[in-house]
Amino acid sequence: MAVNDEPLFPSSAVVPEMTFKAMVLAVILTIILAAANAFLALKVGLTIAASIPAAVISMGVLHLFKRSNALESNLVQTSASAGEAMASGLMYSLPALIIMHYWIGFHYWETMLIGLVGGILGVLFTVPLRKVLLTERSLRFPEGTAIGNILRVNAAKGVGLKELLAGGAWGGVIALCQTGFKVLGEALQFWTVRGKIAFGLGCGFSPALIGAGYIIGVNAAATILIGVVLAWVVGVPVLSLIYGLPAGITDPSQIAWALWKTQIRYIGVGTMMIGGIYAIIGLLKPIYIGIKASMVAASKLEAGSVIPRIERDMPLKTVLYLLIAISIPGYFLLAHFGVTDALPISLTSGRLMVFFCLIFIIIAGFFFSAVCAYFAGLIGSSSSPISSMSLMSLILSSLLIILWLGSSLDFDAKSVHTLAGAGLAIVITAVICSAAAISCDIMQDLKAGHMVGATPWKQQLMMMIGVVVASVTLPFVIDLLFNAYGIGGILPHPGMDPNQTLLAPQAGLMATVVEGLFTHEFNATMLAVGMVFGLIALLLNPFLRKKGFSIPILPLGIGIYLPISTTTPLIIGGFLSYYVKRAIDKRVKNDEPELRATKEYKASQVGMLISCGMVAGASVMAVALAIPFGIKGSADALRLIPDSYDTIAEWLSAAVTVILILWFRKRVLNSAR
* DSSP state letters, 175-198: HIIIIIS-SS-SEEEEEEEETTEE
* CA–centroid distance for 380 within its chain: 14
Query: Going by C-beta distance under 8 Å and a sequence separation of 6 or more, which residues neighbour residue 299?
Result: none
- Cα–Cα distance between 81 and 77 in angstroms, integer? 6
What per-residue confidence (pLDDT) applies to 429? 95
Domain membership flag for residue 155: yes
Burial readout 391-411 (b: 16 or more C-beta within 10 A, e: otherwise): bbbbbbbbebbbebbeeebee
Assign 3-state DSSP to the chain and report helix, strand, coil percentages, each to 5.
75, 5, 25
What per-residue confidence (pLDDT) applies to 239? 92
What per-residue confidence (pLDDT) applies to 297? 53
Domain membership flag for residue 340: yes
What per-residue confidence (pLDDT) applies to 650? 92
Partners of residue 202 on adjacent β-strands: 189
Question: How many other CB atoms are there within 10 angstroms of residue 329's CB atom?
Answer: 13
- Cα–Cα distance between 441 and 376 in angstroms, integer? 7
What per-residue confidence (pLDDT) applies to 155? 45
Domain membership flag for residue 126: yes
What per-residue confidence (pLDDT) applies to 378? 62
- Are residues 464 and 154 in contact, defined by beta-carbon separation less than 8 angstroms? no
Helices (H), 193-235: 207-228
Query: Going by C-beta distance under 8 Å and a sequence separation of 6 or more, which residues neighbour residue 506?
Result: 41, 45, 91, 92, 93, 387, 390
- For 35-64, the pLDDT digits (tens) are 888 887 888 776 766 677 777 788 878 878
* Nearest one of 157, 181, 35, 158 to 475, comparing CA atoms: 35
What per-residue confidence (pLDDT) applies to 156? 40
- For 436-485, the pLDDT digits (tens) are 999 888 888 898 888 888 899 999 999 999 999 999 999 999 999 999 88
Ranges in the chain, pLDDT < 50: 1-4, 155-156, 158, 302-303
Domain count, the chain: 1
Domain that holds residue 387: 20-164+285-301+309-485
- Cα–Cα distance between 122 and 131 in angstroms, integer? 16
- Cα–Cα distance between 319 and 325 in angstroms, integer? 10
What per-residue confidence (pLDDT) applies to 226? 94
What per-residue confidence (pLDDT) applies to 459? 93
- Cα–Cα distance between 233 and 393 in angstroms, integer? 35
- For 570-595, the pLDDT digits (tens) are 899 999 999 999 999 888 888 888 88
- Cα–Cα distance between 457 and 315 in angstroms, integer? 8
* CA–centroid distance for 234 within its chain: 29
Partners of residue 441 on adjacent β-strands: none
- Cα–Cα distance between 365 and 386 in angstroms, integer? 11
Q: What is the pTM of this model?
A: 0.78
State the burial class of residue 571 (Cβ atoms within 10 Å of its Cβ: 0-12, 13-18, 19+): buried
Beta strands in 264-392 (DSSP E): none
Domain membership flag for residue 45: yes
φ/ψ of residue 160, rounded to 5: 95, -10
End-to-end CA distance of the chain: 18
What per-residue confidence (pLDDT) applies to 3? 41
Domain membership flag for residue 46: yes
- Cα–Cα distance between 170 and 211 in angstroms, integer? 11
State the burial class of residue 340 (Cβ atoms within 10 Å of its Cβ: 0-12, 13-18, 19+): middle
* Nearest one of 175, 104, 171 to 625, comparing CA atoms: 175
What per-residue confidence (pLDDT) applies to 298? 54
What is the helix (H) or strand (E) element at residue 85, kind and residue range? helix 70-91
Domain membership flag for residue 481: yes
Domain membership flag for residue 460: yes
Query: Going by C-beta distance under 8 Å and a sequence separation of 6 or more, which residues neighbour residue 211?
Result: 48, 167, 171, 573, 610, 611, 612, 613, 614, 615, 618
- Cα–Cα distance between 408 and 417 in angstroms, integer? 8
Domain membership flag for residue 77: yes
